Amino acid sequence: MSNTENWVAMGYIKGAFGVKGWLKVQPSTEYTDSLLDYPQWRLSKGKDVQMVEIEAGKAAGDELQVKFSHVNDRDVAALLRGYTIEIPRESFAETEEDEYYWADLVGMNVINREQIALGEVVKLMETGAHDVLVVRGEHGEKLIPFVSQYIDEVQKAQKIIIADWGLDY
């Protein structure tokens, strides 16, 4: 049973690059080039939605440079600036136990062992050693390492993360 409405935002188009229709893309994935694993993207901006096919692409620092098969000049490419890139959730590979996609963690609510709501995961940061949850709520912003030492449980269905994390950390 596949739900084709289950699109996940994975980055956005920053603007045109060069004269042949290439685009600069800011991915919101752990690995810059992992968006290139998906040959088709859905682009959305407001009510405008279109499907595109990747002709070529490469990582350049922390962004991607991509070429869509139907975009062949800078003017057409420039019109795509600001579009969100979406990938169907069902095309993600299955995760191992205790493995999560960043896209699944963003938007989850984090509570600590004392049942105090610390806030919502707004993004993740990669530090080299481990990923860090950026959590914002009424108690300000908290940076919580996404490691078993601090994360007791991820309840995917309830969209809750239980953390061993005090308000004063």
Rounded to 5 degrees, what angle do the CA atoms 137, 47, 50 make?
A: 110
Distance CA 4, CA 123 (A): 25
Identify which has the larger pLDDT, 151 or 4.
151
User: Partners of 149 in the beta sheet?
Assistant: none
Per-residue pLDDT of 93-110, as tens digits, reads 777 777 888 888 989 999
* Percent of the residues in the chain that have a pLDDT greater than 90, as a whole number: 69
Q: Which helix (H) or strand (E) holds 122?
A: strand 117-126
Q: What is the mean pLDDT of residues 45-71?
A: 94
User: Partners of 161 in the beta sheet?
Assistant: 110, 154
Per-residue pLDDT of 28-40, as tens digits, reads 887 888 899 999 9
Q: At a CB cut-off of 8 Å and minimum separation 6, what does 125 contact?
A: 131, 132, 134, 143
Structure tokens at 164: 């061993």
Dihedral-angle region of residue 141 (phi above 0 means left; psi in -120 to 50 means alpha; beta otherwise):
beta
Q: What is the mean pLDDT of residues 41-66?
A: 94
Computed over every residue of the chain, the mean pLDDT equals 90
Going by pLDDT thresholds of 50, 70 and 90, the confidence category of residue 88 is confident
Per-residue pLDDT of 117-129, as tens digits, reads 999 999 888 887 8
pLDDT at 133: 95
Structural domains in the chain, CATH included, are 7-90 (2.40.30.60), 102-163 (2.30.30.240)
Check whether 15 has a pLDDT greater than 60.
yes
Rounded to 5 degrees, what angle do the CA atoms 58, 42, 39 make?
A: 45
Distance CA 11, CA 9 (A): 6
Question: CB 65: neighbour CB atoms within 10 A?
Answer: 16
Model pTM? Answer: 0.65
